[in-house]
Copies of this chain bind each other. A is one copy, B any other.
Amino acid sequence: MGDPTSGDGQPPDDTAADGPTLTPKGEARRRALLDGVLTVLEAGGPSAVTHRAVARAAGVPVSAATYYFAGRDDLLRAALRHATTDWARSFDRLERASLRDLAETLVRYAVTERGAARAQYELLFTAMRDESLREDAELWYSSLEHVLSRAGVPPDRVDVAALAVDGLIVRMLWRGEPGTAAATERVLRQVVGPLS
């Protein structure tokens, strides 16, 4: 630790949060690793997420995984954060959302990209056990509530509607059904209640 005769193999800084300040180009590799986690998760479940499997999926050597992420925990942590913020952003992008827009996004999320969505939900469940991931998970749920309220759901119904949409997502992940935006919108209208 006090003898830097040569490169000591440690990602320079990257303290905590969201600062990509110190990785100009290898940031792509980081992202590839994170996507690799989802790929592996999708194919083999949580217990298949190993340094080696993730590295193989990302097409990088094993040591890259330990270079960018201190340990398996950091890897999973970062993958959850990556996946949830990604999707939360895509919800937030629906500024003045209609139920139709929301339905389209849901179908894209839970049917078209089913594998990734399943993986994210699996991570979400994992986060139940880890207090330090609570925050990221809440982000997901709160952005769901926000998009519903922007879609015209009255305030005193938003949380109940969010429950139902969450359940709807889980069902879509299970059965791939409803599989079209039109059908999803129909269910959404039932779910959201008399008003809209």
Contacts and interface: CB of A to CB of B under 8 A. Distances in A.
B160 A163 contact: no
Contacts of A190: 157, 160
A125 to B, nearest CB: 5
A86 interface: no
Interface string A3-44: 000000000000000000000000000000000000000111
A96 to B, nearest CB: 25
Interface centre among A121, A166, A187 (most CB of B within 10 A): A166
Interface in A150-176: 157, 160, 162-168, 170-171, 173-174
Interface in A97-140: 118, 121-122, 125-126, 128-129, 137
Contacts of A170: 166-167, 170
Question: Number of copies of this chain in the oligomer?
Answer: 2
A179 interface: no
A interface: dominant SS? helix
Contacts of A80: none
25 contacts: A42-B129, A44-B129, A45-B46, A46-B47, A47-B47, A47-B49, A118-B125, A118-B129, A122-B125, A125-B125, A128-B173, A128-B174, A160-B187, A162-B167, A163-B167, A163-B168, A163-B187, A163-B191, A165-B167, A166-B166, A166-B170, A167-B167, A167-B168, A170-B170, A193-B193
Given A118-B129, A160-B191, 11 more contacts: A42-B129, A43-B129, A44-B129, A45-B129, A125-B125, A160-B187, A160-B190, A164-B164, A166-B167, A166-B170, A166-B171
